[in-house]
Amino acid sequence: MAEKNSISFDNLLADLKNQIYYPVYLLHGEESYFIDIISDYIEQNVLSDLEKEFNQTIVYGKDSDVSILISYARRFPMMANYQVLIVKEAQDLEKIEDFQPYFENPLTSTILVLCYKYTKYDKRKTFYKTIEKHGVAYESARLYDNKIPDWINEYLRKRNYSITPKASALLCEFLGADLGKIVNEIQKLLINIPAGAEINEEYVEKNIGISKDFNVFELQKALAKKDVVKANQIILHFAANLRENPLVKVIPILHSYFVKVLTYHYLPDKSKNSVASALSVNPFFVADYQQAARNFPVGKVVSVISYLREYDLKAKGVENSSAGDGELMKELIFKILH
């Protein structure tokens, strides 16, 4: 049997498409999107519609008992080569380690899938090592924020679309790192865009409801230029729309930005590609960091980062008994610009 300890998502999906099946799958990790894709593929494609009637069982962890599931797993398929047993939300399953005796000698005609979401299973446990020996243990790791744009680009490329760096940045800023949410919004977006088109910020604004002029990305650009008027226009918009732009969401993005500006100051090689690599940004955005570094010397950047930490605490109620998000935003931006 092939080595599967570090199997990738693409290789695992390729095995399934080539009808290479294993008796046990533990799909675990913080990113639920990849777990859903794999389990959905197994649910929809391993058995024919007729075979599913007798040989496919889908249960939820909180409603299930391991001893009963083992009895299901030990059944032989009826008029099919396999039976499929999928346990969704397996992290809610009590005494999951009671599967251990079954996993030591699983039925090869059963495909048992455990969808263990939102957390990693302890790889040091005998339970995990037994699954690795007889089946597949796949960790669905959450992508780092700076990897999301590349993931979006690749997702769209496979569907014969492209996206501008700014539009990709808008999606990441607005939707965060939840891949399931990103995919849902992209699918809505593609309904209204011709096949093969390049997705720009106008498409994003029109179809997803993200303002291309009043967002954290544009605020960063205004701060980099020390454009007081534009920065204040954006902050006034944020203050009037706090539900979409809470301070606790804005501050971490600005903090990450200014940490990169500080990093830029100390880079020995400030060529475009070298900077893009060091900061993990698209080369398209390097000019913004160059401009920010010109307008914010090292000492000022250190002060800005200190302000951001101070106002993050204030936004959470520390040493702040009355000021709201809107007022704190205005104070913070004033200190950054002056």
109 or 166, which is more confident? 109
Mean pLDDT of 40-44: 97
Secondary structure element (H or E) that encloses residue 27, with its range? strand 24-29
Q: What is the mean pLDDT of the chain?
A: 91
Structural domain boundaries of the chain? 9-139, 145-208, 216-337
Distance CA 131, CA 114 (A): 11
Task: From 237, 245, 186, 223, select the one nearest 336 (Cα to Cα).
Answer: 223
Mean pLDDT of 275-300: 92
- Which pLDDT value is given to residue 3? 43
- Which pLDDT value is given to residue 204? 85
Fold classification of 216-337 is Zinc Finger, Delta Prime; domain 3 (1.20.272)
Helix (H, G, I), strand (E, B) or coil at 175: helix
Fold classification of 145-208 is Helicase, Ruva Protein; domain 3 (1.10.8)
- Which pLDDT value is given to residue 107? 97
Question: Which residues, 6 or more positions from 112, have their beta carbon under 8 angstroms from its beta carbon?
Answer: 23, 24, 25, 69, 73, 85, 87, 106, 135
Give alpha helix (H) positions in 113-225: 126-134, 148-157, 165-175, 179-191, 201-208, 216-225
- Which pLDDT value is given to residue 5? 52
Question: Which residues, 6 or more positions from 234, have their beta carbon under 8 angstroms from its beta carbon?
Answer: 213, 214, 215, 218, 219, 222
| 9-139 CATH choice from 3.30.360.10, 3.40.50.620, 3.30.360.30, 3.40.50.300 | 3.40.50.300
Distance CA 155, CA 176 (A): 16
Confidence category of residue 172, pLDDT binned at 50, 70, 90: confident
Q: Does the pLDDT of residue 113 top 90, yes or no?
A: yes
Global pTM reads 0.73
